[in-house]
Amino acid sequence: MKVNYIQHLYWRAGFGILPNQLHALAKKKKEEVIDGLFENSKKTTPLKIDTAEIDSILSGETKISSENQKRLQQLSREKTIDLNVAWVNRLINPSELLREKMTLFWANVFVCEDNNVVYIQQFNNMLRQHALGNFKEFVNAVSKEAAMTKYLNTKQNKKQKPNENFARELMELFTLGEGHYTENDIKESAKAFTGYSHNFNGEFVFRRYTHDASIKTFFGKTGNFNGEDIIDIILEQKQCAKFICEKIYRYFVNDALNETHIKQMVDVFYKDYNIETLMRFVFSSDWFYNPENIGTKIKSPIEFLVGLNVLVPVQFNNPRQLLYIQKQLGQTLLDPPNVAGWKGGKSWIDSNTIVLRLKLPSILLNDAYISKTELGESDDMMAVKKSAFKNTYGRKFKIQHDWETFNKNFKDVNVKDLQDYILLSELNPEASSYLNSLSKVSKKEYGIQLMSLPEYQMC
């Protein structure tokens, strides 16, 4: 398989690829490379943090005291930071690469947040479990999660007083898209989801006495429907398959939709709503590797951060600083802006975030110093410049960076060839001229220079 095709695949299905793995895969056929991605993501490794104290408070309680409630809130705030850091670390060092990238994708489709870290961890692992499975089972699982029943008020949806929040977002944001249902469809489906609730441990509970068992009419069908019946009827609409395929195309292929490609994807997905089958089709299609799809996608803040860490592992002494960077870049895991999630694409970049993105590699990896050493500049002069930058910027973050791992991974790569491994996007003439003017003093310095280019923002 062509080297640039593998790099493209591993940026879309993961967060980049290192030289040794790239060279090993280049000897294989495309089908073998793709099979390997799916084979390595067959199992699911749940993401777990220590929630023992929270579990002990929740266990066996029928009503939480005000004192325990305050303690729960404090613990959840602290543990949510731990969960955020654990998720970022999982993305950097995934045991199942494609499954983790798909989990990140689905988290911005089935958007949810909660102030109970046990529930949100459970929700996150549900996304992970179903990320490559059957979409029907996936949607049903989403509808029954404790975090979701709280977030979209299904818990308050009772036959005496229906709440339409979940029913509306299920169709508008999760399955069909705006304009493909009626207000009456929302009202009728809301009745079907009455009775959905959970216990203190976050386990799904169906409360029959609050369920509306009346006859309902939904998308022209009439019956004594429950929530699972509603999801069945939604998936019968081909628009559901189209809606999800468009989301997958924008995330994994290109922000600009190609209707011919979308139609091909829908024909595959609508048959049985198997997510793995759909993703195999996308990654195997010749059009996935068209030039217009390679190096043309703006990295999300998390893709950007994780990609940096794949090249040079970084450890934050203070986990809150990792959250601070996510916030400044515009994407904090577990804290979506609203139920519609992050818009993605060009919205990732504005006048503030682009400055931080271009500066971040030097902040994290080189005490805020970007080497701009011109050919012939002395080592002493470079050291003076670096010391000045360190005094100005270097104290803001307490970080341990592992350049030994970088040097090991790039040991057999000539410094002049680094850009072929770090950049996927074509260099514009100005960037080429800039790089040619620099003294490639070391792989470390040149690597930071490459990661500080606008082209590194693309994948």
Q: What are phi and psi of 218, to 5 degrees?
A: -140, 125
Average pLDDT over residues 218-225: 98
- In the predicted structure, residue 373 carries a pLDDT above the cut 80: no
Instruction: Using pLDDT thresholds of 50, 70 and 90, give the confidence band for residue 372.
Output: low
Q: pTM score, two decimals?
A: 0.93
Q: What is the pLDDT of residue 388?
A: 43
- Total length of the chain: 459
Average pLDDT over residues 255-275: 98
- Flag the least confident range among 102-106, 237-241, 424-428: 424-428
Q: What is the pLDDT of residue 44?
A: 98
- In the predicted structure, residue 441 carries a pLDDT above the cut 80: no
- In the predicted structure, residue 389 carries a pLDDT above the cut 70: no
Q: According to the 3-state scheme, what is the secondary structure of the chain?
A: CCHHHHHHHHHHCCCCCCHHHHHHHCCCCHHHHHHHHHHCCCCCCCCCCCCHHHHHHHCCCCCCCHHHHHHHHHHHHHHHHHHHHHHHHHHHCCCCHHHHHHHHHHCCCCCCCCCCHHHHHHHHHHHHHHCCCEHHHHHHHHHCCHHHHHHCCHHHCECCECCCHHHHHHHHHHHCCCCCCCHHHHHHHHHHCCCEEECCCCCEEECHHHCCCCCEEECCEEECCCHHHHHHHHHHCHHHHHHHHHHHHHHHCCCCCCHHHHHHHHHHHHHHCEHHHHHHHHHHCHHHHCHHHCCCCECCHHHHHHHHHHHCCEEECCHHHHHHHHHHHCCCCCCCCCCCCCCCHHHHCCHHHHHHHHHHHHHHHCCCCCCCCECCCCHHHHHHHHHHHHHHHCCCCCEEECHHHHHHHCCCCCHHHHHHHHCCCCCCHHHHHHHHCECCCCHHHHHHHHHCCHHHHEC
Q: Which residue has the higher pLDDT, 440 or 231?
A: 231
Instruction: Using pLDDT thresholds of 50, 70 and 90, give the confidence band for residue 371.
Output: low
Residue tagged 């489906």 (tokens): 189
What is the chain's mean pLDDT, rounded?
Answer: 92
Instruction: Using pLDDT thresholds of 50, 70 and 90, give the confidence band for residue 436.
Output: confident
- In the predicted structure, residue 447 carries a pLDDT above the cut 70: yes
Instruction: Using pLDDT thresholds of 50, 70 and 90, give the confidence band for residue 328.
Output: very high
- In the predicted structure, residue 81 carries a pLDDT above the cut 50: yes
Average pLDDT over residues 98-109: 98
Q: Where are the domains of the chain?
A: 301-457
Distance of alpha carbon 7 from alpha carbon 459, whole angstroms: 9
- In the predicted structure, residue 251 carries a pLDDT above the cut 80: yes
Q: What is the pLDDT of residue 439?
A: 74
By CB neighbour count within 10 A (0-12 exposed, 13-18 middle, 19+ buried), where does 430 fall? exposed
Q: What is the pLDDT of residue 345?
A: 96
Q: What is the pLDDT of residue 341?
A: 98
Q: What is the pLDDT of residue 382?
A: 47
Tokens found for residue 366: 């080189």
- In the predicted structure, residue 383 carries a pLDDT above the cut 70: no
- In the predicted structure, residue 118 carries a pLDDT above the cut 90: yes
- In the predicted structure, residue 119 carries a pLDDT above the cut 50: yes
Distance of alpha carbon 216 from alpha carbon 253, whole angstroms: 40
* Helices 227-236, 238-252: crossing angle, 10 deg rounding: 80
Q: What is the pLDDT of residue 385?
A: 44
Average pLDDT over residues 34-60: 91
Instruction: Using pLDDT thresholds of 50, 70 and 90, give the confidence band for residue 62.
Output: low
Average pLDDT over residues 335-355: 96
Could you tell me what percent of the chain has a pLDDT over 70?
Answer: 93
Winning range, highest mean pLDDT, from 397-401, 403-407, 431-435: 403-407
Instruction: Using pLDDT thresholds of 50, 70 and 90, give the confidence band for residue 107.
Output: very high
Q: What angle do CA 298, 327, 351 make, to 5 degrees?
A: 55
- In the predicted structure, residue 158 carries a pLDDT above the cut 80: yes
Q: Which residue has the higher pLDDT, 308 or 379?
A: 308
- In the predicted structure, residue 359 carries a pLDDT above the cut 70: yes
